[in-house]
Structure 1
Amino acid sequence: MSTRSDLLTSAEILLRTKGYAAFSYADLAEDIGIKKASIHHHFPTKESLAIAIVESYLFRFKNQLECINDENTGIIDRLNAFALMFAQSSKNAMLPLCGALAAELLALPESLKELTRDFFEIHLNWLQANIALGQAAGELKAELDGVKVARFILNTLEGGSFVSWALSDNYEQSSGFDFILDGLRVTETHH
């Protein structure tokens, strides 16, 4: 592992646990055992470090969404796999990166505000596309408003992460995602 990637990994954890405003290069230096000056060599400013974290995360996240699409033909399976990403970050006692950033939106520099908005758009666009596919395939109720449903799913998963974070409880058992899926599914009618 290179120092740069160690820095990104460690800083991402700090961002998702302490938050942007609260973590410092001193925390980072202590965490990976290098001098603060060495961090400045790689990332002259905290903003440049945070942008690198988000860009690297977005790259992985987009790949993850593509993998979900490649590995699951059924839309319900895709949505469950999407929800699992939130459960995993909760299991690791971290907030989802986009949620952690959004919580501090006013403290963020403009460049990070933009990236945070893009990040949420990527979630919503992926959800909307899959909801439309699910409706076309007859898996999901055709009458549902895909834009609102995508927002509702994201609101629930992000919100669930914060509630679990505050209560230190089991996210998967309490996210309520199963209720959403039950409401989206086309139910078989027997005549």
Structure 2
Amino acid sequence: MIDTKTELMVRAEDLVRGRGYSGFSYADLSEAVGIRKASIHHHFPTKELLVATVLRNYTERYATALVRIETHYKDALDRFDAYGRLYLTGVDKGLGCLCAALSAELETLPDSLRLGTVSFFQAHIAWIDRIYAEGLQRKEVNGALEAGEAARMVVASLEGALMMERLLAGRKGFDMTLSAIRKSLSPYL
């Protein structure tokens, strides 16, 4: 059984991923967790603090996953596949990426959330850029794109597919995007 603070963060993450930052309130969270709003304020005095904590945890989970991918997969294309599969939880739960949901409200977000969201995407683009560049040196990917172009294409494709397949074909449609990314980066065109 998880403690109340952890459950609040889990439920808040789902609410933001499903509705956006401005689309949920402590009343929604209170109902989802089954505690009074005052109890939420005890753990997280402000919504900004709550979502900043959720964002920090989300970012750390992904950073850990990127290290795990590099440890378990040596080939660049396999790393990209594994990276794409990180999105499947969102596909299966019908939830978008936390940072994509936050970025949709970028102009109205508090600075801490705006900066954390930008930092998340910058880290992912840098990671994919590096994996692509290394794969290019080892002839595991084609040279049709610059590393930065490939990184943006991969992130944009996966984020778009996650959002789109919530409405359309779910995992089956998302798998089509994963396949298209692999084919477009493969050295065997």
Shorter-chain TM-score: which interval? over 0.9
Contact kept, 8 Å, 1:15 with 1:100, in 2: the verdict is yes
Partner of 1:173: 173
Q: Report the CA distance between 1:143 and its aligned residue.
A: 4.9
Task: Assess, with a 3 A threshold, how the Cα gap between structure 1 residues 172 and 123 changes in structure 2: closer, same or farther.
Answer: farther
TM-score when normalising by structure 2: 0.93
Partner of 1:154: 155
Partner of 1:113: 114
SS at match of 1:44: coil
Q: Which runs of 5+ in 2 are unaligned?
A: none
Contact kept, 8 Å, 1:75 with 1:139, in 2: the verdict is yes
Q: How does 1:18-167 map to 2 (within 5 A)?
A: 18-167=19-168
Task: Assess, with a 3 A threshold, how the Cα gap between structure 1 residues 59 and 160 changes in structure 2: closer, same or farther.
Answer: same
- Indicate the RMSD between aligned Cα atoms, in angstroms: 1.5
Contact kept, 8 Å, 1:87 with 1:172, in 2: the verdict is no
Task: Assess, with a 3 A threshold, how the Cα gap between structure 1 residues 107 and 171 changes in structure 2: closer, same or farther.
Answer: farther
- Which residue identity does 2:11 align to in structure 1? S
C-alpha distance in structure 1 between counterparts of 2:128 and 2:21, whole Å: 27
C-alpha distance in structure 2 between counterparts of 1:176 and 1:6, whole Å: 32
Contact kept, 8 Å, 1:161 with 1:171, in 2: the verdict is no
TM-score when normalising by structure 1: 0.92
Contact kept, 8 Å, 1:160 with 1:171, in 2: the verdict is no
Q: Which runs of 5+ in 1 are unaligned?
A: none
